[in-house]
């Protein structure tokens, strides 16, 4: 069926934002979604509070992204934190800024925001087609979909692909589109886990006693001598390794190190508010007859999972020397042996390469077809950066379609 409407494939924030730009301009839009409901990953992201963006200068904001082209700043510059906040308020959802600069809807929930967004799109004539899984192009260049009622083909005026990355298969983001793109000779970089957990060869005691324990009041770093990165966030110990918080923030560098060397070292500062000299002084002043555990507890208030990590990763004999113990507490090497499976990552790097797209995010190999969101090869930590970039590239793709249609 040939139509003068635009097809948007994927109902996450990238696809819905492309639909918004187009419908606001009076263009008819059909949104196709493989799952039984819209925005499932968006809703999951907001399960404990929808962190939709992050405050900060444009430069600082952009520095949180990895693997982007020279045009990426233009997209974020056109729809960054200020624009996201104004957009939410226009939907009747005022913003709330948390103590660390994270931006949330005032309600903290994703579902009211998504409902208001879908309602506005419907009022503008956007049609949502659920349980429509894109299966490729027809010989005539149209779009083929598998539906419960059978195969459906559409030949729209233009298409925006917003199919997500390669994680969270159960929410619809399975990366299956990559094979279809590769078969059409569209360059696609392999998916890699991002914002993910890592494996550690824990001792049996560590696994049995501390799996699930949060590690608070620490500083994490990776490869600082070579211009790496550090963060002061908590993280969690798991039965197979570490995850959450600061581990996700540093995940891209840790992943790259594992891919290059087979392992990566995550450096832990267990007492970031105390320098090594003060730590050594306090340990030296502790009664020698006390056990090491008691000295750590009474002199430094170091207990529980922090003490367990110290015993796990440091030379136990060295801990009896105050100076060497202080060095270990301030720079404890935790060796990571791998990443968790791709589907368990919060997001993925990889996808359609930037050189496959023009400045309007149209595929050079397939004029009239555009890409947006996580299916493009950029990478970012959690903290609002992921959703903002999805929305920003969705707007850019929608703008690219408008430019094409008016030429």
**Would you give the end-to-end CA distance of the chain in angstroms?**
24
Q: Give percent above pLDDT 70 in the chain.
A: 99
Task: Pick left, alpha or beta for residue 227 (phi over 0 → left; psi -120 to 50 → alpha; otherwise beta).
Answer: left
End of a domain among 310, 339, 368? 339
Q: Are residues 268 and 319 in the same domain?
A: yes
Q: Are residues 390 and 323 in the same domain?
A: no
115 within a domain of the structure (yes/no): yes
Domain that holds residue 204: 198-339
Q: The dihedral of CA 60, 61, 65, 71: what is its sign?
A: negative
For residue 2, is pLDDT > 80? no
pLDDT computed for residue 67 by the predictor:
66
Domain count of the chain?
Answer: 2
End of a domain among 339, 360, 391? 339
Each residue of 248-304: pLDDT tens digit? Answer: 999 999 999 999 999 999 999 999 999 999 999 999 999 988 999 999 999 999 999
pLDDT computed for residue 371 by the predictor:
98
pLDDT computed for residue 345 by the predictor:
93
pLDDT computed for residue 269 by the predictor:
98
Q: Are residues 92 and 43 in the same domain?
A: yes
Q: What is the DSSP letter of 240?
A: S
Angle of helix 111-123 versus helix 13-24 axis, rounded to 10: 30
CATH number at residue 89: 3.50.50.60
End of a domain among 339, 364, 395? 339
pTM over 0.85: yes
For residue 1, is pLDDT > 70? no
203 within a domain of the structure (yes/no): yes
pLDDT computed for residue 84 by the predictor:
96
pLDDT computed for residue 73 by the predictor:
86
**Gap between the Cα atoms of 316 and 320, Å rounded:** 7
pLDDT computed for residue 49 by the predictor:
87
Q: Are residues 330 and 352 in the same domain?
A: no
Q: What is the DSSP letter of 340?
A: P
Residue 72's pLDDT band (boundaries 50, 70, 90)? Answer: confident
Q: Are residues 43 and 131 in the same domain?
A: yes
Over range 69-80, report the average pLDDT: 85
Q: Are residues 353 and 329 in the same domain?
A: no
Each residue of 102-130: pLDDT tens digit? Answer: 999 999 999 999 999 999 999 999 999 99
Residue 3's pLDDT band (boundaries 50, 70, 90)? Answer: confident
For residue 47, is pLDDT > 90? no
Over range 333-362, report the average pLDDT: 95
Q: Are residues 160 and 213 in the same domain?
A: no
281 within a domain of the structure (yes/no): yes
Q: Are residues 268 and 363 in the same domain?
A: no
Q: Are residues 255 and 317 in the same domain?
A: yes
1 within a domain of the structure (yes/no): no
Over range 14-42, report the average pLDDT: 97
Q: What is the mean pLDDT of the chain?
A: 94
**Gap between the Cα atoms of 382 and 387, Å rounded:** 9
Over range 34-51, report the average pLDDT: 90
Angle of helix 292-300 versus helix 304-313 axis, rounded to 10: 130
Q: Are residues 183 and 235 in the same domain?
A: no
Q: Are residues 88 and 183 in the same domain?
A: yes
pLDDT computed for residue 251 by the predictor:
95
Q: What is the DSSP letter of 341?
A: P
Q: Are residues 276 and 381 in the same domain?
A: no
């Amino acid at each position: 069926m040939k139509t003068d409407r635009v097809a948007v494939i994927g109902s996450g924030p990238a696809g819905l934002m492309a639909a918004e730009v187009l419908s606001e301009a009076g263009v008819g839009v059909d949104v196709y979604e493989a799952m039984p409901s819209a925005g499932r990953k968006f809703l999951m992201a907001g399960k404990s509070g929808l962190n939709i963006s992050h405050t900060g200068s444009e430069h600082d904001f952009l520095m949180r992204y990895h693997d982007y082209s020279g045009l990426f700043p233009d997209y974020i510059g056109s729809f960054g934190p200020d624009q996201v906040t104004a957009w939410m308020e226009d939907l009747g959802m005022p913003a709330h800024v948390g103590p660390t600069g994270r931006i949330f809807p005032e309600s903290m929930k994703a579902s009211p925001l998504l409902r208001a967004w879908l309602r506005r799109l419907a009022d503008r004539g956007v049609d949502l087609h659920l349980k429509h899984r894109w299966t490729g192009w027809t010989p005539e260049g149209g779009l083929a979909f598998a539906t419960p009622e059978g195969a459906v083909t559409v030949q729209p005026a233009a298409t925006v692909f917003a199919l997500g990355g390669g994680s969270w298969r159960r929410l619809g983001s399975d990366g299956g589109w990559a094979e279809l793109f590769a078969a059409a000779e569209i360059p696609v970089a392999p998916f890699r886990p991002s914002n993910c957990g890592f494996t550690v060869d824990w001792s049996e005691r560590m696994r049995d006693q501390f799996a699930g324990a949060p590690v608070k009041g620490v500083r994490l770093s990776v490869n600082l001598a070579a211009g790496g990165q550090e963060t002061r966030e908590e993280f969690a110990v798991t039965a197979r390794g570490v995850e959450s918080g600061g581990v996700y923030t540093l995940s891209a560098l840790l992943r790259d190190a594992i891919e290059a060397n087979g392992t990566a070292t995550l450096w832990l500062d267990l007492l970031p508010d105390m320098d090594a000299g003060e730590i050594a002084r306090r340990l030296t002043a502790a009664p020698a007859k006390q056990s090491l555990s008691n000295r750590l507890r009474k002199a430094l208030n170091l207990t529980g999972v922090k003490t367990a990590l110290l015993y796990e990763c440091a030379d136990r004999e060295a801990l009896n020397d105050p100076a060497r113990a202080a060095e270990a507490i301030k720079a404890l090497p935790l060796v990571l042996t791998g990443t968790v499976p791709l589907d368990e990552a919060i997001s993925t790097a990889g996808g359609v390469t930037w050189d496959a797209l023009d400045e309007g995010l149209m595929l050079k190999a397939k004029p009239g077809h555009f890409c947006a969101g996580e299916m493009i090869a950029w990478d970012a930590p959690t903290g609002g950066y992921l959703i903002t970039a999805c929305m920003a590239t969705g707007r850019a793709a929608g703008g690219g379609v408008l430019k094409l249609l008016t030429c």
